[in-house]
Each structure stands twice: as C-alpha cells, then as structure tokens.
Structure 1
Amino acid sequence: MRGLKVLPSGRPGRGRLYVNLPDGQAVAWYDRQANRISVLADDHREAILAVLRPYLSGTVSIGPPPVPTAADLRRLALPPDADLAPNRPGETLLGDLEHGSAGTRARHRLRQDLTAQQRMGDAFDALEPDGWRILHCVPLPGLGRIDHLLIGPAGIFCVRTVPGRRQRAVVGDLLLTVGRTEPRPDPRWLRRAAARASLALTARVTPALALVDASRIDKAPTVRDIRILHSPTATSDLTGSPTTLKPPEIETLFAQARDTRTWFHTSSPAGV
C-alpha cells in the first residue's frame, strides 16, 4: 500500500517507530529495544513490513500488540506536543544559540553548557539497556528546566550539569564555584527543583550535580543531600547504587514524567 509513513517516537535511534496511514492513523509500531513489530491492522501487514524493512536488524518478532499496561495507556494517550521523551540533551540551549541574540561571551558560555549537557545526556542515555529511563530539558514553571531527569533502579535523580573546564570545583551548601569564576547558586536551585519534582511525581527525587571535566571536586562536609556525579565515572556510580525501584515502578513514573501536564499542573510546595 502506498502512503504509509514511518514516524519516530522518542529520541532518534532509541524510541519506537510508528507506521501511520496517510490520515495519521497508526497501523503498527516497531519497538527497537524488544526488536518486535506490533501490527494493529493485519490487512496492511505486507506493506507495513516493506516500509519498516530499512530500519530492521537481527531477528524480528511480529504479532499483535501486547496487552498495554497502565503506563502504556498513559503514554499512548499523550498528544505529541505534550511528550517530553523526544527532547535532546541541551534542547533549550540549542534554540538559544540558533535564534538568540546573546553577545559573543554569553554565546561562548552557552556552547560550554551545551557541550556539557550533550556529553552527560549521551552517557545517561546509554543507561537505558540497564533499565533506566531518561528525560532531558524538563520544564519547571518558575524555576527553568531540569537538565536531565533519571528514573531507574537506584531511584529518581534531578540532575543539573555544569562544565568543570578542567578546574577545581567547590560544592558548598548554597553555592558552587568552578575555578576563579563567580559562585553559582546551583546547590540551592537543585534542592528546590528536586522538591518540586518530588511533588509532581509523588515520589522521592534526589538532587544531583554533574560536573563535566572538573580537575578536582571538593564538597563541604555538610552537603549530604546532593549526589555529586563526576564525569566520566558518573554512570558507573549510578549503576553501582542499591536498587530502590522495580521495573514496573520505573515505567509508571516515566510515563508520568514524560507528560508536560505533570509539571505545569503542579503547585510549588511551601518554601520552594
């Protein structure tokens, strides 16, 4: 059949591929991780296989869709513009660089921040085969955006990424200082963002600070609530942590977190 379209859902190379009729109705999807094609319209089966063939690899199973879980139903009901899963690392910074009017110095800082977010984002995305689910650029009205939200066996982490610039970083209770630059209020912001995320997801969210290429990290002894992730060992630190969430819990939380309405319909807790 002519006119079938293959459309991605999620980040390129990681999410599902949907096969749609010209009117937009889905007739099948290809789950890359499971290597399985779920056919919704068996009368289009041959055309579906033909249009998906360039994307397939290895031994692919074909059949009707599995019985959807509650998380599946929530995800499938999402309007495309409400789904955060396709966001790339540093999505907002890319827009600022392409369309913003910042000066030369500000654009240099934006590029450094973008490179750090992209590097950490790629490292976090690589955790998905280990049962982790990752979102990037999660909006927090009134607070900006969470650079990366990690949901996995070790729990939920609200991550702020900062370029270390091969300099010493000092993490205090309220401020972060990298080299000789002006102190930044990242620790204070992280606590507020994690509290907001905990309220939105009704689950414990740990604030985490990811420092990319810092030559050394010194943390004040009173900073016990913020997880420090030092690239390039950040992901191994997470995978080596004790398990607190089971796979069904991870999928349910991910389905909730990827919906923009989860974040925009959440009021700030007292003091946040």
Structure 2
Amino acid sequence: MHDLKVTSWQLFGHDRLYVNLPDGTAIGWADLGSGTITVLHPRYRDAVTDALARQVPDMPALGEAEPPRPAFAPPPAPRIPPLRRTRMRKGEGEGAAARAPETEAAVPPAPGPRVPEQARPPRQEQTSEPRAERDQEDRRQPPPVKQAQARRAEPATGRTGPPELPALGPADDLAARRPGAALREQLGESGAGALVRVATGALRRQKEADPRRTALAGERRVGAELRRLMRHGWRVLHSVPLPDGTEIGHLLIGPGGVFAVHAEHHPQASVRIGDGTLRIGDADPEPYALGDRFGAGRAQRVLEAYCTFPVPVGTVLVFTGVASLDVVTTPPDVRVLRERQVSALAPLSGVLTPTQVERVYDVARHREAWAGA
C-alpha cells in the first residue's frame, strides 16, 4: 500500500513515526527511542513495516512489538485530516496568492495522534489538585513533626500556659500588709485584739519584755530599710502568709532578682554565724541551718508556676541592733547583713527586666497564689 503516509510526532519525551491511512487513521507507529514497532491492526503489519522501511533506511534494526490485546474494544484512533489548502484559479494573480496564507491560517490545526494508554506518560491529573484545596488540607492535617512538638509543649493538664489567678480584690492584696503582721495579731496590735486592749486599758507597759515584741521591732527596722530600695526600682512585700501558718518575713523583688528576707533582732549583742551554728554573746553556739528555712525555695516554686520565665530566689538574713556581726561561712545563695548593709542590694541588676519585675510582683501580692505553697 503506497498510499500510506508517515508523520513524525514528538511529545512528552517520545520520538515516534506514525503510519496513517489516506483518511488520516493511524494504524501503527515506530518508537525511535525504544526501537519497537506497534501495529494497531494486524492486517496492516506488512504495510506498516514497508512504510517505515521507506522512511527510515535502517528500519530492520528496529524491533517489533505487538500491542497487547485488551479485553474490550479500544476506542477508534483519531483521524488526522490532511492540511487543507486553497488552490488558485487562473486569473486570480498575486491578489489570490496574497490571500492564500490567510486561508491556511483560518483552518484550525489538526489534532495530534492519539497516544495509546500503555505508552502514555504518567498522568499529571494525579497531582494537579487545586492549590487552595491542598493548602486547606495541609492546615487540617499538620505535619507529624508539628503534632509531636505540640504534644510535647502541652502539659499533662491540657493547658498550654501558666495558670491564671482570679481578679485581685482588696481582701487578697498582700501589698497592704505591714511588717510583722502575724506578730501584730498575736500581740493584739491589729484586728479585734487591738480594740479589746484599748477597751480594757491593757496598753500599759509590761514588767517583762515579750520576745514577740523584740522580734516585731526587728521586722519594723528591716521593713524600713527595704522601703529605701523602692526608689531604685525594687518592690517589697511584708509578711507573706503560707498555708502552714508560717510566713515569709519580707519579699524583695527587683532587677537583681527576688530575695526572701528574714530579720533577727538582738540588741547590743555580738553575733557570730557560720559552720551551721549561731552564737550570741558568750552563749554556747546553737545549731542554725541557713538552708531553705526562710521560704526561698517555696517562693521560687510559687512564682515560677505563674510566670513564663525563671525566677531565682535567694535568701537574705538581716541582723538588727547588734553590736558586732562575724560571718564565717554561708551557702552561696544566702547573704548575711546588718540592717545598714541592706542598701548594698540596691545596685544589683541583670536578673529581671522591668516588665518581669512587675509580673513577679503582681503574682506575689495575690494571696491566692500562695495557697498551694
């Protein structure tokens, strides 16, 4: 059959020669890349081979492959109509020749030959999902790494941040407490006890000094020294109550960190402290541990529970009214001072920022925060 036409087709990385009937129907092709011949209709086997041999001189080197026979009838191959051209009639001259390109351009290009399913490259539709839908699906299903990070960041209680304190009311605001508030209540200098003492005339001087009054004097003197630090950006709370009935004498909050301050009042006494003992005057040394007995550790746990940053808390032991103070050794997080040495804490800085100082102070002044201390 000499009426067969051989056309070249290159797409998707394939280089083929298609053999078509005079009406444009494809009956076979040769894949120049793989060296195989595919015959769509068995009766045209020889015709397809001869047509390809005329087109490609070394066609005998190409292999031959029969297309698989599907269980169903394949759809008819597309017809490739020949290019339509307008013939010039006699007498039309150059005007008709000038219009010829417009006539050819008006004819739509013929579609390319149909590529069989087995030779067709991977379909792009599998991943051509609209981008908006894919982004939405990604948002609904975060990557496993992000899921794991979210689970690690989430505490066991299901909350992702520190607990919130209730609104601060006058009854829960510790900023109004005075130094030695517990001692004042015991001595009847505040609350109902003061009214009773005034009514019964019991405010006269006692014959023997009450140790509680001596301790209260020390708390007042230390409180006065701590108030001097407020002009340097420090905050002060007094008599912070704890659930077991004890209290932190003073809580100093500022740029240099947080300190649990404890007052010891020993008028005109010589004090020697060190090696876990305390000696006052000529008395025998007594055991005196400087560990967490003044509430520094408990204060740190409470404050860090409501803050999103570390809150280091140290201990400051202040001796008031003493004639001399001899400090041998102390733990690294414990400072032992005389009352006039409290001002040495003012220049300390670099631990908390002004914003962090205010946050710690807001937590520390709330009575509810210390309920679980």
Q: Normalising to structure 1: TM-score of the pair?
A: 0.62
Which of residues 190, 195, 215 in structure 1 aligns to 2:293? 190
How far is 1:140 from its partner? 2.2
Given the superposition, is the C-alpha separation of residues 156 and 168 from structure 1 closer, same or farther in structure 2, using an over 3 Å criterion?
Answer: same
Question: Is it true that 1:97 corresponds to 2:187 in the alignment?
Answer: yes
Matches of 1:74 and 1:238 in 2, distance apart? Answer: 30
Do the aligned partners of residues 80 and 121 (structure 1) sit closer, same or farther apart at CA in structure 2, a change above 3 Å counting? same
CA contact (8 A) 2:271 2:325 kept: yes
Unaligned runs of at least 5 residues, structure 2: 1-163, 195-205, 305-310
Match of residue 357, structure 2, among 228, 250, 263: 250
More strand by share: 1
Q: Deviations over 1:118-160 (max 9, x none)?
A: 1110121222121111000011223711110000111100011
Q: Per-residue deviation at 1:171?
A: 2.0
Within 2, Cα distance between the matches of 1:143 and 1:172?
28
Superimposed CA distance per residue, residues 175-217 of structure 1 (whole angstroms, 9 cap, x where no aligned partner):
43332567364624536x1111111111210011011122222
Q: Deviations over 1:222-243 (max 9, x none)?
A: 53321112111212x1013343
Tell whether the 8 Å contact from 1:174 to 1:188 is kept in structure 2 after alignment.
Answer: no
Q: State the aligned residue count.
A: 189
Give, in whole Å, the separation in 1 of the partners of 2:243 and 2:292. 13
- Quote the Cα distance in structure 2 between the aligned partners of 1:225 and 1:215: 25
Any conservation in 2 of the 1:160–1:190 contact (CA below 8 Å)? no
- The one of 267, 273, 277 equivalent to 1:165 is 267
Other-structure match for 1:84: 174
Q: Which moved more, 1:154-163 or 1:237-246?
A: 237-246
Matched residue SS, 1:112: helix
Change (3 A) 1:115 1:78: same
On the 8 A contact 1:89/1:117 being kept in 2, the answer is yes
Counting only pairs closer than 5 Å after superposition, residues 29-48 of structure 1 correspond to structure 2 as none
SS in 2 for 1:190: coil
Q: Quick one: distance in 1 between partners of 2:350 and 2:208? A: 41
Query: Residue 342 of structure 2 corresponds to which residue in structure 1?
Result: 234
The answer as to 2:319 corresponding to 1:217 is no
Hey, what's the Cα distance between the residues in 2 that align with 1:88 and 1:184?
30
Between the aligned partners of 1:105 and 1:184, the Cα distance in structure 2 is 31
Tell me the CA shift for residue 173 of structure 1. 4.8
Which residue of 224, 245, 259 corresponds with 2:366?
259
Q: Which residue of 2 aligns with 1:178?
A: 280
Cα 1:209/1:74, change in 2 over 3 Å: same
**Partner residue, 2:197:** none
- In the TM superposition, 1:56-71 aligns within 5 A as none
Higher Rg of the two aligned structures: 2
Match of 2:316 among 200, 208, 211: 208
CA contact (8 A) 1:153 1:243 kept: yes
Distance 1:139 1:106 in 2: 29
Give me the CA root mean square deviation: 2.7
Higher normalized contact order (CA 8 Å, seq sep 6+, divided by chain length): 1
| Segments of 4+ moved more than 4 angstroms | 104-107
Equivalence for 1:123: 225
